[in-house]
Amino acid sequence: MAKITITVPATSANVGAGFDALGLAVSMHNVFTFEESDRIQISSVDGTHVPAGANNLVFRSARAVYDQLGIPLKGLRITQRNDIPMARGLGSSSACIVAGILGANALLGGRLTKRQMLTLATAIEGHPDNVAPAMLGGFVTSVYDEGQVYTVKKDIDTDLAFAAFVPDFRLLTAKARAALPQMISHKDAVYNLSRAALATAAFCDGDYNLLGVATKDALHQQYRLPLIPGGDEMFEFAQDLGALAVYISGAGPTIMAVVHRDNDEFFQRAEAELGQHEKLKHFTVYRLLADNTGATVQ
Ligand code: HSE
């Protein structure tokens, strides 16, 4: 019986001003296997706790494919290797959703197109900015309009690196979204739309000196920083070390810094100094590169 292996990258959504629209894929991955089975058998291969029943997000996402195609599903045998830390703003849920959809689609002979799968993933996640780069890799601009997802993917320059400062606590996206105001001013809307456009153009053109201003935001970061102890200090720390840009990754609590790949000093100092800083010692820094491939099916 066929065993399908799906590898999905971590993703960093919003990229500052591009709330629910921009996202990029980085070199940290979860690996999932899928086999047909007449019952639900789900296990983690790395000791991480994962729900073992029908409520498991990978299984639920796989089932959505069977439902869409009108094919009955009794069970699946799924294994998960979870290298992406959960509920940290690095797209661990999106990785599960994308894996479930790609795994089920592969088991069923590849009946859905990438666009259909992306639309399904977005419907499950609620916004496209993690699932799109998880599936496509690179830097992705997405719009969800009347039930359809529209994306443009651009490879990320391999001269860039990403420093993910991951704290030792979880922050659920629902809580981080609940902290946002219902209404925003016209001024704040203009502040963000101009920067989201500039960030996209800067990534496309390789004009990275623009990223500092282009990733500033007025829609979500100021409301979420109070939920991230040490968050303000982390911004300052990464900026002082010479980051090109610093932003809350997704809904947080990870703080992401964009740096030149050859900036070894940034990473050496970050590793050496984090632990000495009373307000930052609960953060761990991960040195990541872009993933321009996206999810793979084998
Ligand atoms: N755009 C989303 C948010 C990403 O900021 O809430 C989190 O998954």
pLDDT means per 10 residues in the chain (298 residues)?
94 98 98 98 95 97 98 97 97 98 98 96 97 98 95 97 97 96 98 98 97 98 98 98 98 98 97 95 98 98
Res 1: pLDDT: 67
Q: What are the helix (H) ranges across 108-178?
A: 114-125, 131-136, 173-178
| pTM of structure | 0.96
Return the axis-axis angle of helices 57-69 and 114-125, rounded to nearest 10°: 130
- What secondary structure letter does DSSP report for 243? -
CATH code, residues 3-155: 3.30.230.10
Q: What is the CA radius of gyration of the chain?
A: 19
Bond prior to 253 in cis (omega within 30° of 0): yes
The amino acid present at 157, given as its one-letter code, is D
Q: How many angstroms separate the alpha carbon of residue 182 from the centre of ligand 1?
A: 15
Query: Which protein residue's CA is at the shortest distance from atom 4 of ligand 1?
Result: 250
CA atoms of 94 and 99, how far apart (whole Å): 8
Q: Are strands 255-260 and 148-154 parallel, antiparallel or unpaired?
A: unpaired
Instruction: Give the tokens for residue 13.
Output: 């959504």
Q: Does residue 70 contact residue 105 with C-beta atoms inside 8 Å? A: no
**Residue 35 CA to ligand 1 centre (angstroms):** 31
Q: List where CATH 3.30.70.890 sits in the chain.
A: 160-288
Minimum CA distance residue for ligand 1 atom 3? 251
Chain-centre distance of CA 23, in angstroms?
7
Specify the ligand 1 atom closest to the Cα of 248: 5
> What spacing in Å lies between the alpha carbon of 114 and ligand 1's midpoint?
22
- From-to residues of CATH 3.30.230.10 in the chain: 3-155
Domain 160-288, CATH number (from 1.10.3720.10, 1.20.59.20, 3.30.70.890, 3.50.30.50): 3.30.70.890
